[in-house]
């Protein structure tokens, strides 16, 4: 036990003291935030205010009707072309338009699906959608006038019935929040499994290529060596995770203390909303559990592969492909589980050990025991523990043989034979 502890300490300290650890710990949340805000920002920025010539053959469009909507919404500018339409079509650019739309001679009761915004450039759907929406508002005004529907009637007509899912077992549940947390938790576990799993694999490969493996196994058992590495790297991942939580808490408290700032208060407000709508301690506990158990499950397999291959990174990649596929399949199942958290894919995906760390974490925010009954959670956890005991045992057997083998890359079949060989 003492020897495992020495190995854990080395694996942990050598990684945590590296510059790359500090940089990646700081950079990941920044990148993550950057990605979220950046995408919204770019989408907003890349929208163009199009100036569109409307060539009307139907006779319904009037300058007054168009101007009314131009004033209400300046995301695009529509101009009714009077007089020589052919001249505009031939030379819309010099007239100052980005493009033109020809309204054919249609009946106001019919409408038309086949109008075209013609221009010599391609515009994003965001920009053309604004034009379409405005055109439809004008069309509505025209229809309302023809049907003699006044403003009061219009308002009555737009009234709708809203339906929001509400779980009676969990009064505070909020599907939108749950979905968001589920995505974040699932993806975090996905990243951790892939990134730290491959770190275990590389660590084992390093020991093999540096030829230190046999030196170490003359002091400790190969199983201790593997376990020490997995636990050490798991602790590194946990440390990184705690630093991120601390980072969030600091941002939260600073935001709360500073009070007034627009974005800060908004963030604090939305976080408070999250804290009240979900069971934060349960989610954190489950996250810790699935993160560690999932990490043991996968990293031991990655470790076994690291022990079996030689220096060649490509060998490792081709051999670890099936394992990586399992992680990726889990993400696909997670997406299905989030859209239908009580469906059969969600239930089975969150119980079967290989996908449960990711899929279950996506379901839990929807509420326990509302969406995830206690028996499912217990079964999932129990099976995952069994699962990782099995993979760690299996990996240990492969590791024991692989770590001392040099030469040809083994196949999965050979590795399975190693696992069932006597010492």
Judged by CB, which is closer to other proteins: 98, or 207?
A: 207
Of 1-9, 142-150, 168-176, 364-372, which part binds other proteins (CB under 8 A)?
1-9
Pick the binder of other proteins from 114, 125, 210, 260 (CB under 8 A).
Answer: 210
Structure tokens at 307: 């022990």
Judged by CB, which is closer to other proteins: 42, or 212?
A: 212
154 is a contact residue toward other proteins (CB under 8 A): no
What is the size of the binding site for other proteins (CB under 8 A)? 22
How many Cα atoms are found within 13 Å in the side-chain-facing hemisphere of 252?
13
CB of 199 within 8 A of CB of 295?
no
Angle made by CA atoms 167, 373, 271, in degrees to the nearest 5: 55
Of 63-71, 116-124, 161-169, 204-212, which part binds other proteins (CB under 8 A)?
204-212
423 is a contact residue toward other proteins (CB under 8 A): yes
10 is a contact residue toward other proteins (CB under 8 A): yes
Judged by CB, which is closer to other proteins: 295, or 399?
A: 399
Pick the binder of other proteins from 63, 73, 171, 206 (CB under 8 A).
Answer: 206
216 is a contact residue toward other proteins (CB under 8 A): yes
Pick the binder of other proteins from 89, 149, 202, 220 (CB under 8 A).
Answer: 220
Min CB(320)–other proteins separation in Å: 23
Judged by CB, which is closer to other proteins: 142, or 405?
A: 405
217 is a contact residue toward other proteins (CB under 8 A): yes
215 is a contact residue toward other proteins (CB under 8 A): yes
Sign of CA dihedral 23, 243, 349, 279: negative
Pick the binder of other proteins from 160, 218, 281, 344 (CB under 8 A).
Answer: 218
313 is a contact residue toward other proteins (CB under 8 A): no
211 is a contact residue toward other proteins (CB under 8 A): yes
Pick the binder of other proteins from 212, 284, 378, 386 (CB under 8 A).
Answer: 212
Pick the binder of other proteins from 14, 112, 136, 318 (CB under 8 A).
Answer: 14
106 is a contact residue toward other proteins (CB under 8 A): no
Of 28-36, 54-62, 207-215, 351-359, which part binds other proteins (CB under 8 A)?
207-215
Judged by CB, which is closer to other proteins: 21, or 32?
A: 21
7 is a contact residue toward other proteins (CB under 8 A): yes
Judged by CB, which is closer to other proteins: 12, or 287?
A: 12
Sign of CA dihedral 340, 277, 189, 379: negative
219 is a contact residue toward other proteins (CB under 8 A): yes
Angle made by CA atoms 87, 90, 93, in degrees to the nearest 5: 100
152 is a contact residue toward other proteins (CB under 8 A): no
Residue with tokens 């990711």: 358
Residues 383-412 that bind other proteins (CB under 8 A): 404, 406
419 is a contact residue toward other proteins (CB under 8 A): no
φ/ψ of 414, rounded to 5, equals -65, -40
Judged by CB, which is closer to other proteins: 158, or 423?
A: 423
214 is a contact residue toward other proteins (CB under 8 A): yes
Of 6-14, 114-122, 185-193, 358-366, which part binds other proteins (CB under 8 A)?
6-14
Residues that bind other proteins (CB under 8 A): 3, 6-7, 10, 14, 206-207, 210-212, 214-221, 404, 406, 421, 423
């Amino acid at each position: 036990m003492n020897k495992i502890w020495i190995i854990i300490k080395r694996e942990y300290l050598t990684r945590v003291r590296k510059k790359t650890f500090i940089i990646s710990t700081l950079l990941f949340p920044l990148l993550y935030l950057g990605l979220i805000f950046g995408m919204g920002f770019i989408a907003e920025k890349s929208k163009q205010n199009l100036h569109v010539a409307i060539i009307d053959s139907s006779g319904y469009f009037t300058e007054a009707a168009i101007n009314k909507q131009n004033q209400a919404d300046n995301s695009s500018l529509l101009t009714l072309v009077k007089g020589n339409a052919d001249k505009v079509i031939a030379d819309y650019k010099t007239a100052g338009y980005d493009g033109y739309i020809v309204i054919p001679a249609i009946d106001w009761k019919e409408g038309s699906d086949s109008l075209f915004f013609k221009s010599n450039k391609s515009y994003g759907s965001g920009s053309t959608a604004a034009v379409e929406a405005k055109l439809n508002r004008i069309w509505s005004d025209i229809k309302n006038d023809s049907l003699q529907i006044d403003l009061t009637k219009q308002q009555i007509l737009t009234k709708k019935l809203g339906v929001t899912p509400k779980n009676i077992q969990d009064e505070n549940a909020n599907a939108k929040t749950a979905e968001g947390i589920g995505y974040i938790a699932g993806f975090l576990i996905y990243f951790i499994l892939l990134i730290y799993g491959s770190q275990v694999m590389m660590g084992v490969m390093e020991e093999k290529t540096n030829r230190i493996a046999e030196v170490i196994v003359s002091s400790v058992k190969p199983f201790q060596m593997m376990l020490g590495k997995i636990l050490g790297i798991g602790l590194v991942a946990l440390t990184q995770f705690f630093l991120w939580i601390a980072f969030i808490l600091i941002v939260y408290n600073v935001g709360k203390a500073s009070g007034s700032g627009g974005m800060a208060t908004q963030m604090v407000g939305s976080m408070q909303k999250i804290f009240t709508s979900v069971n934060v301690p349960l989610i954190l506990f489950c996250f810790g559990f699935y993160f560690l158990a999932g990490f043991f499950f996968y990293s031991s397999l990655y470790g076994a592969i690291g022990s079996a291959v030689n220096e060649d990174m490509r060998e490792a990649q081709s051999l670890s492909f099936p394992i990586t596929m399992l992680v990726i399949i889990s993400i696909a199942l997670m997406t299905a589980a989030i859209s239908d958290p009580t469906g059969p894919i969600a239930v089975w995906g969150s119980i079967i050990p290989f996908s449960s760390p990711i899929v279950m974490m996506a379901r839990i925010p929807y509420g326990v025991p509302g969406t995830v009954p206690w028996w499912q959670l217990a079964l999932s956890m129990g099976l995952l523990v069994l699962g990782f005991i099995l993979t760690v045992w299996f990996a240990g057997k492969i590791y024991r043989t692989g770590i001392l083998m040099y030469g040809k890359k083994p196949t999965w079949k050979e590795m399975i034979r190693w696992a069932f060989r006597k010492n």
